[in-house]
Structure 1
Amino acid sequence: MVCDSITYHPTLTRLINFLETNNGRDKLLRTLQYLARLVSFYLLKTGSGVNSYYLARRIQDLFVLSRKPLRAFKPLRHLKTLSITLDNELEDSYTKTLETVKQAGYSLYYGFDSIYWLKLLGLLKNKNGKLVRKIEQVCSFFWLIALVSGLLQNLRQLRVSYHKKQALLKELTSSENKDPLDEKVNLEKQKETLETQNTLLSRAKREAFVRILDSIVALNSFGSARINDGVAGGAGIITSVLQLQDLWKNTNVKETTEI
């Protein structure tokens, strides 16, 4: 039956499983949030009407408010990762320092984001202190620190993977091994390692691109006059779609039962 072919279709199953995850719902709402932000900027620039502009801004604010509860406990995950990073004695010191700063930045960012949520709910007023008045800028500051640290990690990964790739390419073009059997085994291992380095390079480039665009959004929220809502909205849409793609690829297509 047609109904059964739709009901049991793997894409529908994946979509249901995707929307059952916090990250899936969060990134979907994030995409809609920045889309509303871009639309509101367009309406303001084209003079399409005050009512339309404020409606788009109201929709954006609703998406922002809806996302906050989904991220309330994220500081715990980053604090755990921070603790594991500090205990890791084998990691490269440069990478360890950057990972420590990144996880600390995300922990503080999501922690202050929960305070910002209370402010949006009206439970905290500006008269409660300077921190409450500047809470959005504080969140953006720690987010920017985490993004810059992650970007430096990506650049280091690109450098390391590039040098490893070049060394492997030199080994593949040389024929020092005289034993054909050993040469064939080594060649297969080298090609496998080369594929791994290519994957790491692609992932690092993608993550660096996302973090550069997110840094633009963070600077806009921080109060940079040179970055308008149109640029920030466009950057936010691009990064949200890329993150949605990654989450979609990792979503299980098997049926899940909820007890």
Structure 2
Amino acid sequence: MVADALIYHPTYAKLLRFLDTTPKREKSFRLVAYLSRFLSYYLYRTGYSKQVVDTFKTLKAQVTFLRKGMRFLKPLHHFEAASKAFDNKLMDPVLQQTTVIRNLGYAGYLTIDGFIFVKMLGLVDSKRWSKASTWASRFWLLGLVAGVINSLRSYQINTIKLKASDSDEKIDVKDVKSKLFKAKRKLIWDLLDTFIALNSLDYLHFTEGDVGLAGTITSVMGLRDLWAAT
């Protein structure tokens, strides 16, 4: 039967495993949020009715609220990652320091995001922490800048290794090239998210469509990694 073929298909089983964890569902909602942000602007610019545009704006707001709930207490993960990187004395100093700063930046961002979630639930006066969103974006930007430096340093280290592979047979060329690809990919990813953070802080003034498109791209990149790891 068609239903049996679908249910027992390996891809369907993988999809169930993929959606069975909160981080992966949260990243899926991130894609929906940024895609809705892009579509609301695009549909507005192309002359669609206010009702259609508002549908996507509402979807973005509701999904963003759900994401905040899913990320609650996630800072603990980044505090742990920062602590492990700090204790790793064998790591390259630049990679070590930027890994620590990146995770502390993300931890600060998500901690403040948790306070914003509490406000949205109505448990705290909405007038309190009026600049919480601004500070959250600042911490996110700090983490992203550290990530950019980390990727550049990783690229530099592995470029040197690749050049040395001609005279050193012990160097795994395939592994070095893989690390170079990952460094370049992560650099593009962090630069796109930096673009979003700079716009949220009003350092840049691009359109909602531009920000939504950048977020859609990085969301797809993140989901692709999670899917591959499932």
User: Is the TM value for this pair above 0.5?
Assistant: yes
Change (3 A) 1:52 1:224: farther
- Deviation, structure 1 residue 126: 4.1
Q: What letter is aligned with 1:220?
A: N
Any gaps of 5 or more consecutive residues in structure 1?
173-185, 252-259
2:180 paired with 1:201? yes
Judge conservation of contact 1:154–1:208 (CA < 8 Å) in 2: yes
Q: Greater relative contact order (Cα 8 A, min sep 6): structure 1 or 2? A: 1
Judge conservation of contact 1:33–1:63 (CA < 8 Å) in 2: yes
Partner of 1:12: 12
User: What TM-score, normalized by structure 2, do the two folds share?
Assistant: 0.94
Partner of 1:136: 133
- Deviation, structure 1 residue 100: 1.5
- Deviation, structure 1 residue 211: 0.5
2:68 paired with 1:89? no
- What are the within-5 Å matches in structure 2 for residues 138-177 of structure 1? 138-168=135-165, 170-171=166-167
- What are the within-5 Å matches in structure 2 for residues 100-249 of structure 1? 100-128=100-128, 132-168=129-165, 170-171=166-167, 186=169, 189-190=170-171, 193-249=172-228
Partner of 2:43: 43
Judge conservation of contact 2:29–2:63 (CA < 8 Å) in 1: yes
Any gaps of 5 or more consecutive residues in structure 2?
none
- Deviation, structure 1 residue 47: 4.1
Distance across 2 between alignment mates of 1:225 and 1:238: 19
Partner of 2:67: 67
CA RMSD of aligned residues (A): 1.6
% identical equivalent positions: 34
Judge conservation of contact 1:220–1:229 (CA < 8 Å) in 2: no
User: What TM-score, normalized by structure 1, do the two folds share?
Assistant: 0.84
Q: What letter is aligned with 2:121?
A: L
Q: What letter is aligned with 1:51?
A: Q
Q: Larger radius of gyration, structure 1 or 2?
A: 1
1:140-187 per-residue CA deviation (whole Å, 9 max, x = no partner) reads 11011101101100000001100110111x327xxxxxxxxxxxxx5x
| Structure 1 runs (4+) greater than 6 angstroms displaced | none
Distance across 2 between alignment mates of 1:121 and 1:206: 37
- Deviation, structure 1 residue 99: 1.4
How many residue pairs align between the two structures?
A: 230
Q: What letter is aligned with 1:57?
A: K
